[in-house]
């Protein structure tokens, strides 16, 4: 069950949120919701009530197909906005992959800022542009890349989003099953690709949910981003 917690003024992610929070006389809306792991922020088919900014944690966004299969669309983390939709219903669900804190801004307040503040409008358009770019990358990932290219691309994405400089490692916040859903692969194929990368000393994989990239150029080549004479065939 989500709970409401106060946001300290020194919160590292609050700067962008302040641009969409309510006026000073509406400080009661200046709070965050805390979601437990596996709890949903909203479901596919729900009526949108407002916009969420992720303050901490990771959220998985997925769509349930007509036959009941789940297709993971993307992931969101600190600084990302969710539910910036003008549709009558959410076309995806948002589930907390870890414990999540998210600032909720009612739709009316968000729309008012959108109309009144040109700087905020530009920020929103930039975010929407990024979302479209991510969707394009996902389509390319599923439509043109082989299993190894998909896996390598995903590890690069994880490092860019969730790398922990203090340890040098990146934590994989999702299960292998979730990764398989996102990449359009079987669970067995994902495990096989990860083990190939480990055996080839491209990555260090001390635990199933923790990795470190040992050879970034090789990983980029396997992702199809740069040319390389060697190959790890799927």
3-state secondary structure of 113: helix
Closest CA to 41 of 62, 18, 27: 62
The whole-angstrom separation of Cα 69 and Cα 197 is 29
The answer for residues whose C-beta is within 8 angstroms of residue 66's C-beta and 6 or more apart is none
One of 1.20.1250.20, 3.20.20.80, 1.10.10.10, 3.90.1150.60 is the CATH number of 146-222, namely 1.10.10.10
- Return the pLDDT at 214: 97
The whole-angstrom separation of Cα 59 and Cα 77 is 6
Q: Crossing angle of helices 147-162/118-144, nearest 10°?
A: 150
Fold of the CATH domain 3-141: Jelly Rolls (2.60.120)
Domain range list for the chain: 3-141, 146-222
- Return the pLDDT at 17: 37
The pTM (predicted TM-score) of the whole model is: 0.71
Sequential DSSP letters for 177-217: HHHHHHHT--HHHHHHHHHHHHHTTSEEEEETTEEEES-HH
- Return the pLDDT at 190: 96
Domains 3-141 and 146-222 share a fold: no
Residues of the chain with pLDDT under 70: 1-31, 141, 228-234
Closest CA to 55 of 15, 96, 14, 91: 14
- Return the pLDDT at 31: 60
The whole-angstrom separation of Cα 85 and Cα 61 is 14
- Return the pLDDT at 192: 96
């Amino acid at each position: 069950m989500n709970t409401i917690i106060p946001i300290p003024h020194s919160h590292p992610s609050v700067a962008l949120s302040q641009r969409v929070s309510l006026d000073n006389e509406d400080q009661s809306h200046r709070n965050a919701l805390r979601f437990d792991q596996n709890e949903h922020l909203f479901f596919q088919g729900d009526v949108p009530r407002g916009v969420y900014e992720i303050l901490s944690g990771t959220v998985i966004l997925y769509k349930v197909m007509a036959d009941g299969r789940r297709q993971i669309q993307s992931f969101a983390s600190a600084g990302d906005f969710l539910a910036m939709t003008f549709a009558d219903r959410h076309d995806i669900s948002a589930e907390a992959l870890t414990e999540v804190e998210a600032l909720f801004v009612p739709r009316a307040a968000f729309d008012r800022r959108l109309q009144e503040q040109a700087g905020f409008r530009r920020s929103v358009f930039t975010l929407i542009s990024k979302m479209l770019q991510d969707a394009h990358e996902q389509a390319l990932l599923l439509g043109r890349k082989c299993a190894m290219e998909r896996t390598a691309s995903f590890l690069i994405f994880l490092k860019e989003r969730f790398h922990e400089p203090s340890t040098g490692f990146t934590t994989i916040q999702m299960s292998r099953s979730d990764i398989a859903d996102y990449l359009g692969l079987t669970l067995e194929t994902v495990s096989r690709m990860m083990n190939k990368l480990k055996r080839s000393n491209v990555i260090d994989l001390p635990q199933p949910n923790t990795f470190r990239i040992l050879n970034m150029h090789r990983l980029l080549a396997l992702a199809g981003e740069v040319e390389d004479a060697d190959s790890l065939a799927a």
